[in-house]
């Protein structure tokens, strides 16, 4: 659909130019006795008007498409749907992804599950350097930054397992930052949630600290419960780490319970 819209937009501009060029050559052919030769002609108000008005209309047309398209595709704009959206909080780490489902009280590392046809509202941040969250078969990418929150709205339309990864070079283990996206029906998603709740530990500040400070790639991990606002905790730690590093004259690090966990960047 997007390719078709782009093609139509291009043809609206290109086709009239080609047609007018062919008409010009046809009209001023040597055998056309109706074409008047005017060697002393130097000005025409109608031609001057057309020379400026046609490009202006083309620019206005393309500007209108760009303006409406940019706002329609705003990643922060929620997707209109009769389905209640699923909220997912994302924290990029070295070299893994943490997914928190605040409304369900569960979390996972390097595995994302979503129900098909349900809008997903992502809130994203980083526990370390800047990264890029990208599921190319589903939607556009969005950056994750320490101490800041970005947003992304997506909706999967087809069942399947998709690949998500980091699209931003961020260090040694960046190429390992891949995760499967399990797109299931509602029953399959509920079964996945039940599986997480039936086993696994609790994601609290201590477990978060373990994940954030390991600086190693990780397999899939599940957490049956989430202790408090871990996403807010992650953002707070990122802000504190920058402040502590500046005061101590150190490289950026993670400030946890008054301690500084140094890290080479």
Indicate the pTM of the whole model.
0.72
Question: Is residue 189 within 8 Å of residue 212, measured between CB atoms?
Answer: no
Q: What percent of the chain is predicted at pLDDT more than 90?
A: 55
Q: Return the closest-CA partner of residue 143 out of 153, 132, 154.
A: 132
Residue 87's pLDDT is what? Answer: 98
Q: What percent of the chain is predicted at pLDDT more than 70?
A: 89
Question: Is residue 224 within 8 Å of residue 198, measured between CB atoms?
Answer: yes
Residue 55's pLDDT is what? Answer: 86
Q: How far apart are CA 194 and CA 9, in angstroms?
A: 48
In this predicted structure, the answer to whether residue 118 has a pLDDT above a threshold of 50 is yes
The per-residue pLDDT for range 59-83, each reduced to its tens digit, is 998 898 888 888 887 888 888 889 9
Contacts of 139 (CB under 8 A, 6+ apart): 75, 152, 154
């Amino acid at each position: 659909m997007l390719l078709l819209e782009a093609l139509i937009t291009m043809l609206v501009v290109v086709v009239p130019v080609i047609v007018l060029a062919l008409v010009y050559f046809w009209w001023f052919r040597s055998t056309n006795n109706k074409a008047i030769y005017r060697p002393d002609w130097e000005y025409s108000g109608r031609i001057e008007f057309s020379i400026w008005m046609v490009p202006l209309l083309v620019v206005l047309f393309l500007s209108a498409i760009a303006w409406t398209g940019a706002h329609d595709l705003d990643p922060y704009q929620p997707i209109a749907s009769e389905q209640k959206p699923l909220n997912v909080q994302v924290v990029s780490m070295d070299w893994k992804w943490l997914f928190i489902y605040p409304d369900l009280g569960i979390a996972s590392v390097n595995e994302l599950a979503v129900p098909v046809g349900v809008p997903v509202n992502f809130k994203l941040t980083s526990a370390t350097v800047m990264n890029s969250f990208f599921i190319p078969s589903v939607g556009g990418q969005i950056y994750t930054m320490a101490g800041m929150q970005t947003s992304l709205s997506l909706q999967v339309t087809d069942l399947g397992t998709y690949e998500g990864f980091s699209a931003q070079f961020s260090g040694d283990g960046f190429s390992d930052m891949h995760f499967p996206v399990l797109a299931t029906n509602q029953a399959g998603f509920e079964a996945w949630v039940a599986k997480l709740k039936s086993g696994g530990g609790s994601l609290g500040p201590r477990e978060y600290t373990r994940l954030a400070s390991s600086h190693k790639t990780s397999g899939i991990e599940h957490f049956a419960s989430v202790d408090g606002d871990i996403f807010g905790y992650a953002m707070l730690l990122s802000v504190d780490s920058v402040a502590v590093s500046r005061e101590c004259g150190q490289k950026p690090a993670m400030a946890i319970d008054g301690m500084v966990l140094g890290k080479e960047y």
